[in-house]
Amino acid sequence: MMDNVFIGQLIGAGLVLICSLLWLFLIRVKIPKGVPPGSFGWPLLGETIEYLNYRYKSGAAAFFNERRKRYGVDVFRTHIFFCPTVVIAGADAHKLLQNDGYRTLTFGHSQMMRDLFGETSLLLTEGDQHKRMRKVILGSMNLKVLKSQIPILEGLSIETLKSWEGAEVLAYDELAKFTFYSIMGLLLSLKPSPYTETLRQDFQILAKYGVSLPLKNIPGSSFNRALQARKRLVDEIKKVVEDRRKDGNASEDVLNYLMQPKGISRSDLHLSDEEIIDNVLFFIFAGYETTSTALAKIIQLLSDHPHEQNLVKAEHQRVQQELEDEGCLTWEKLKSMHYTSMVINEALRLSHLGTEVFLRTSKEDIAFHGYTIPRGWNIIIDKATTDINPDIFEEPLKFNPDRFQKNIPPYVLIPFGSGTRICAGMEFANIEMLVFIHTLVKNYSWRLTQEHNDEMEFTGVVEKPKNGIPILIQKLHF
């Protein structure tokens, strides 16, 4: 019997072919004057299939770089996800993203993303609604909540690393569990359990199949599978919200603040259940695979660079000595981990995290580098190309945390986004990584059990090492 997924994809491909033929015979593409060079590819479908093939095999950056080489320019046009699109990169692209506010750009892939994350996700809201939502959500990530998570993260780090002892583990896969449980603790005060692991499995389906052809009504298609996983997650988060409201037990977590925003009396700043659920789901998506990939990259980089690893260890030995009278890690001690923070920044740069691309839609004609981006076209801001630009970063493929001792030019490194849409969970992600690294280097030594392998794959959200980074750790005895 043929696999249901294959049948769904076959049906979807057939429908796309039929629509493409109709489009070819009935509609003539009009290309406005002044747009960048490029190709719209096949009728209706454009270059979507090529883009997805590149993305899952070697990353979207490979697709972009091949087009740049083909057309001999840094700015080019394409046609993906049923929309004409211009790809831009560099500091000027990041400057446009950061300084625009709500004036000329809106969020791209709107319907596809609305299906995945809901109408009221912070990711998709605009204008006054976005400002309102962002105020409440930033308030939920307040200093009191963040500080309350430090001992929880330290305990989770200890238990995670203890479970690795004496066996070869795939660091990427294990850190994916760690980051998911961390986020569930921050958002919903849920501890690791078979229940949270079931939620994680559904979230993996959402993350893996969400970036695909948006054939939502085709049973068995990748996108349909993602939407079914979303529905199950929404149902479970809704139960948590209802139980919290019924029991009336206040927890020092994000959900408690979203349900009862402290210090806010204005009724228009109170969130509906739909808004709460949509944004809890988006928070998980934004912080799950991104942070775990960065941590796995750090473990690999420090293993490959003993000198930098020794500098990290020296910093954490100093922190541990200062903590002897205080016990657990503190906010102040985390903020004093300057060299480790530089290591994190360098790993984020080399991993192209935050997101590989930022997608927006122009609300008016935009001039960029001598070309016109027409109103209504999508704009892809290719962040990865900027991260390894030799004109910005000397020896860009080299692991060199010391480069962050100098001031990095503005509008260059934006792993957590930029401007009005900078990641609300940025501070928590940094805390999460600092706590885990501290727990690792003060208690363990580790080594990679396979030769260095640069082969990567895409999960649907981020680029990750294909071999999962197998490691063996040993407990340090003092």
Distance CA 190, CA 383 (A): 34
Q: Is 461:293 a contact under the CB 8 Å cutoff?
A: no
Task: Give me the pLDDT at residue 382, please.
Answer: 86
pLDDT for 1-19, tens place per residue? 445 544 555 565 566 566 5
What whole-number distance in Å separates Cα of residue 94 and Cα of residue 309? Answer: 32
Query: Model pTM?
Result: 0.86
Provide the pLDDT for residue 401: 96
Q: How far apart are the first and last CA of the chain?
A: 59
Helix (H, G, I), strand (E, B) or coil at 377: coil
What pLDDT, on a 0 to 100 scale, did the predictor assign at position 11?
60
Do the Cβ atoms of 304 and 452 come closer than 8 Å? yes
Confidence at residue 354, expressed as pLDDT on a 0 to 100 scale: 47
The pLDDT, as a whole number, for residue 42 is 81
pLDDT digits 0-9 by tens, 234-270: 999 999 999 988 887 677 889 988 887 665 555 666 7
pLDDT reported for residue 59: 73
Residue 101 confidence (pLDDT): 60
CA 64 to chain centre: 19
The secondary element (H helix, E strand) that includes residue 444 is strand 444-448
Strand pairing class (76-80; 83-88): antiparallel
| Separation of CA 181 from chain center | 16
Is 456 buried (19+), middle (13-18) or exposed (0-12) by CB count in 10 A?
A: middle
* pLDDT value for 25: 45
The CATH number that domain 127-475 falls under is 1.10.630.10
- Other Cβ atoms less than 10 A from the Cβ of 135: the count is 13
- What residues in the chain have per-residue pLDDT under 70? 1-29, 100-102, 107-110, 249, 261-269, 325-326, 352-358, 452-454, 456-462, 478
**Alpha carbon distance 436, 49 (integer Å):** 39
374-393 residues labelled b (16+ CB within 10 A) or e (exposed): beebbbbbbbbbbbeeeeeb
What's the pLDDT at 464?
73
Please state whether beta strands 378-382 and 83-88 pair in parallel, antiparallel, or not at all (unpaired): parallel
